Structure formats: structure tokens, C-alpha cells
Structure 1
Amino acid sequence: MNPATSSVRVSVVQFDPQVGTEHRNANLRQCLALATEAANGGATLIVLPELSNCGYFFASRQDAFDHAEAVPSGRSVQAWIEFASLHRVYLAAGLNERDGMQLFNTSVLIGPNGFIGKYRKAHLWNLEKLWFTPGDTGFPVFDTPIGRIGMLICWDIWFPEVARILSQQGADIICSLNNWVWTPPPLFDEAGKCMASYLTMTAAHVNNVFIAAASRIGEERDSRYLGCSLIAGNNGWPIGKVASANRQEILFADIDLSHARSAPIWNSLNDLQRDRRIDLYDQTLGYAKHPALPR
């Protein structure tokens, strides 16, 4: 067996951050404690859920502002920077970002040497439209020593364009930060997977990309969360188990990110990249923000 070109231990953290300014310190302490457990387990890349420092369902626009902070100067990002530097890891984490008088549902990527970049959620779910401005960062992919990392947030996975654009920019792995909520039943199949699990697996499969999806659990202001965190291989199948719907868990997967750069030919006649009909649709679906993309 050939040695791994880009060996990475990925970890996704599933827990229960609570909304309410009185919970902010406890949320930050808990996510740091769980991330430390993941780092002590050998994780190189750790993914926390969406809005992991502040909870999700705000009571009003003012309440949303009260939970927000600047990026990267805010206290949570600074604490995550210190953590990543101490443990020499990469961390993707979600927060409520304030930029002037606008709020964004944001994920940040942090490495051993500090803040790398951010993604602002493009597709807003339900009441988010009352608090947040739709993201304006496009779909950035960040080059790091361990590989090329993209990010998406929760509802984004229902839009196949997002994972496709990230993969077409060369993402080796997509960090998926989520607060998957209970919706009208059926919520789970007999295997215990929710629809978001299958959407994650499908996106990984059709784009030949790893996806590390961290979700949350618990109840908050009459809302419930689905859990079901997972790490999908670039063939789409989960690496290890899919997390439960109601327990705090940390999942690990040892992967070689370079496998996402291969051109998997399933047989002598079919290849996902070669078979794309870019004569009928644009190679990047009209997206042209990344300098690595063809013009």
C-alpha cells in the first residue's frame, strides 16, 4: 500500500450550545473542552457546529445583535485562535458575526498560525432571514498545508450548486457546520439517518470530495435538533458511524485528502468529471469569484 500523501485525522463535534447571552461563556467553554478532547484524540482538523458559541433561535433582532461579535477580533474567534495555536490544529467553527449594522451567519477557519478566512452563509433558513444578511463571500476554498478546505453551513447542503462549486475550485474537504432542526415527519429512516445525512453523503459522492458535517443536539426555545453528524468519504459512504440524534459525541476519521484529487473512473466508459456536459452548462455554474477558476 502506498503511503498517504496528505494524511489527516478529521473530527466533528456534536453538542448542545444554548441561546441566551447568559449561556455565552458556558457555550465557549464547552466547545473548547470538546475540541480539546478531539485534539487529544489526534485530530488535525476539527469541525464545530453552526453558531456553536451562541445558540440558534434569537428572540428578536436586538437579541441577535446582543449575541454577535466581530471577526476575527471578537472573543470567541480569539479564543479559537489561541486553541488552534496551542494544539497545532485546524478548526472550523460557527458564530454570529457583526459587521457594522449587518449580521452574518458565519463560519471561520483557523489554523496553527492564526485566522485563515471565513464564509458567510449564502442560503438563510426560516427566521434567519429576519436576523442575518445573506452571505457575500461567495464560496471560498482555502489552501492549507493539509489540503484545500471549503465550508458550507446547514441549509446550504440542500442546494447542490454549493458543493459542486467548492469541488470545482479544488476543495479536498468541505467542512459542513449545521444546526439541523426537526421538521415534519418522517425525520429518520430505519437506519437512524436523517435526510441531511443522505444529502451530505450524496454531495460527497457526486463531487468526489470529503465532507465533515458537525451538527447539534438538544432543545432550545421550543425547537429540537437532529444530531446525525457524520464524516463522508469521497465515495459518499460514511467513514465510521453516523452520530445519534440526541447524544453529545465526537467522531473521528483518518483519511488521505489527496484521494479527492483523483479522477475516479468507475469503469472504462464512465467518469464523473469527464462526463459533465459543459457544452450545455457552464463548467462552474456561472460562478466566477475564485482566482483559480477558468475565465
Structure 2
Amino acid sequence: MTVSPVTIAVVQSDPKVGLEHREQNLTAGLAAAEAAAAEGANLIVLPELSSSGYSFDNRAEAFAHAEPVDGPFIDAWCEFAARRAVYVVVGFAELDGVRLFDTAALIGPGGLIGTYRKTHLWNQEKLWFTPGDLGFPVYDTPIGRIGMLICWDIWFPEVPRILTQQGADIICSSNNWVWTPPPLFDEAGRCMADYLTMTAAHTNNVFIAASNRVGVDREARFLGCSMIAGTNGWPLGAVAGPEERTIVYASVDLATARSAPIWNDLNDLHRDRRTDLYDSMLGYTRGERFPR
């Protein structure tokens, strides 16, 4: 059975580092998701590393905050998704043997559907986490085809392009967008990550639901600016402010992303791609133009 339209909710929250905060991080996330479900949300997106907060002091502390994918954090979200009959994307620190990953989990009423491990690591993340090794999976669900990316990934246009080429109707973007040297916001209150999200949605004709966090976690301060972009790139509803804990909503038919690429009688973004030229020019494969 398919569900259409879909009400998307992106949660803007402020999880904290510290083992003493783990229970509160989970409780606050679940409470926000309960509020979203009460408003009719079918798909709820939460920030990156919602389980643990962001600002680890060292690798040992990151390990202490991490859990396997079958740990109690994901179990709690599976129970919630089953009870509320919703789909959830939530970020957590994943422990896999001796490796750590910055991971987003897609969970539905039937339990864990799949995961995505962050591919492009930002700053000190490289000291704690292993770069993702799962590629860019797209998962079929009754509400649509769902892909995921995490934070810094949106700066690499290959990521949303690969996800849409694999048929994603929506990309769920879990983030910890941090303050960087100014200017941080324009007159509309949007940050650069918003414009990157809008551009990726526009150039790929895909919905993108971007959940960021707020607050200060040790030395790191976060931007907020959570948003949902339509297939034309423009925000659907409000863009969240830089400080408040809030939820942003939009109701869409995700399947419309499948017909959105046809802009006029002669142009189609995906069909107009010159794949016969791109590989050798971009260096993904070695062609005659770029000899060894």
C-alpha cells in the first residue's frame, strides 16, 4: 500500500556530548518525533549524531558514545516507528567492530530498513570516524524511494546526483552544520548550506529534507536553518531560524519527483547529461585525455 501525499517533518534539536546526556538526547528526540507524528507526519528527519552530540574530545570518547546498529538507540526508534506507523531518519554514532561511522538510519513501521554511512568527513570527524563504505543506497518504501546524505556530503554535487540517478524521490539530509567564518546568513536568514540544499534539489529535481541542529556543544556552535526543498529548489514552507528548537513541515506527493525532470518539450535534466564525456573529463576513469 502506498501513502500519498506524505507529510515530512524535519526536527531541529540540540543533542549534547557526554554520557550523562545520552538518555536526554534520546528522550528529547522521541518527544519531538511524537509531536511531529501528532501533526500527521509520515516521514520524520532528525539531525546528524542525534544519539551522542557532536564535539568529542578524542577517539576514546567517540567510542564510548557509539552503539552497534542493533543497539538500544536504534531499538527505541524502531519501537517508536512501529507504534506511530511512520518513517524516521535519525543520525547516530555507529560501532562496527573496531570501526566507528557517522551513520543515518532509515526506520519504518517494520523496523530498520537500512543505513547510510557518511562518506565525506568534516574536520576532526576524520580523527574519530571511518569514511563510509556503503556507497549511496536508495531504499524503496511505501511512501517513496528514500536516499540519505549527511552534512558535508551536500558540498559534493556527486552525492545528490548519484542518489537521484538511482531513483530517489526524496533525499533526507541529517546535519550538524557549524558556524564558520562570516558572513553566515543573508538578509533572508538563510545560510550557505540552505542554498547548497536548494541548488541540489533544483539541479536534480528531487525533494530534500534537511534537518540541522542548534545550540552550542562544547566549542562548536550550530546554524539551525533546517528546511525542506521542493523539486524546483525553492523552500516548501519556512526555513528555521538559527537558534530555536522547532519542527518544519511540508506535505508533498513524493512520486511527483519522477515526472519533475521534464521542464519543456526539448529539455530533460537527466536525459541531457553528456555521460559520454563526463568520465574522462572528471577523472573518474582514465581516458586518452588524461594519460598516466
Task: Mark yes or no: TM-score above 0.5.
Answer: yes
Q: Gaps spanning 5+ residues in structure 1: where? A: 288-295
Instruction: Find the aligned partners of 2:61 and 2:95 in 1 and give their Cα distance.
Output: 13
**Amino acid of the structure 2 residue aligned with 1:185:** P
Over residues 257-286 of structure 1, what are the superposed CA-to-partner deviations in whole Å (9 max), with x where a residue is unaligned? 11110053333332212211122125xx99
Q: Secondary structure at the match of 1:176?
A: strand
Q: List per-residue Cα deviations over 1:155-181 (Å, max 9, x = no partner).
A: 000000000000000000000000000
1:114 — aligned with what?
111
Count of aligned pairs: 281
CA contact (8 A) 1:5 1:258 kept: no
Structure 2: tracts of 5 or more residues without a match: 285-292
- 1:97 matches 2:94: yes
1:66 and 2:64 aligned: yes
Determine the C-alpha separation between the residues in 2 that align with 1:54 and 1:173.
26
1:33 aligns with 2:31: yes
Separation in 1, partners of 2:226, 2:193: 9
Give the TM-score normalised by the residue count of structure 1: 0.93
State the Cα distance separating 1:223 from its structure 2 match. Answer: 1.2
Partner of 1:246: 243
- Compared CA separation, residues 286 and 27, structure 1 to 2 (3 A): farther
Render the CA deviation track for 1:175-202: whole Å, top value 9, x for unaligned: 0000000000110001000000000000
SS of 1:267's equivalent?
coil
CA contact (8 A) 1:157 1:163 kept: yes
- Which residue of the partner structure matches residue 200 of structure 1? 197
Amino acid at match of 2:97: G
How far did 1:136 drift? 0.3
The one-letter code of the counterpart of 1:274 is R
Is this contact kept in 2: 1:69–1:97, CA < 8 A? yes
Residues 22 and 51 of structure 2 are in contact (CA less than 8 Å); yes or no, is this contact kept in structure 1?
yes
Which residue does 2:252 correspond to in 1?
A: 255
Q: Does residue 51 of the first structure (1) align with residue 49 of the second (2)?
A: yes
Task: Give how far 1:49 is off.
Answer: 0.2
**Structure 1 segments (4+ residues) deviating >6 Å:** none
Tell me the distance in 2 between the aligned counterparts of 1:264 and 1:109: 26
Task: State the partner residue of 1:292.
Answer: none
Aligned partners of 2:248, 2:170: CA distance in 1, in Å? 16
Deviation at 1:253, TM superposition (A): 0.4
Task: Select the residue among 140, 145, 151 that pairs with 1:143.
Answer: 140
Find the aligned partners of 1:27 and 1:211 in 2 and give their Cα distance: 24
Of the candidates 208, 212, 215, which is equivalent to residue 215 of structure 1?
A: 212
Instruction: Say whether residues 1:172 and 2:169 are aligned partners.
Output: yes
**Counterpart among 261, 280, 287 of residue 277 in structure 2:** 280
Letter in 2 for 1:117: G
Other-structure match for 1:268: 265
Alpha-carbon offset, residue 6 of structure 1: 3.2
**Residues of 2 paired with 1:8 and 1:143: CA distance?**
14
Once the two structures are superposed, what CA deviation does each residue of 1:22-64 show, in whole Å capped at 9, x if it has no partner? 1000000000000000000100000000001110010111100
Return the letter of the residue paired with 1:58: F
**1:178 and 1:171 mapped to 2: Cα distance?**
19
Matches of 2:216 and 2:115, distance apart in 1: 28
The answer to whether the 8 A contact 1:263-1:273 is kept is no
Q: Secondary structure in 1 aligned to 2:91? A: strand
2-structure distance, mates of 1:169, 1:194: 28
One-letter identity of the residue aligned with 1:132: F
Higher mean C-alpha displacement, 261-270 vs 240-249 = 261-270
2:290 maps to what in 1? none
The percentage of counterpart residues that share the same residue type is 68
SS of the aligned residue for 1:253 comes to strand
Give, in whole Å, the separation in 2 of the partners of 1:274 and 1:286: 21
Q: Secondary structure at the match of 1:279?
A: helix
Equivalent in the alignment of 1:22: 20
Aligned CA RMSD, in angstroms, stands at: 1.5
For 2:275, what is the secondary structure of its paired residue? coil
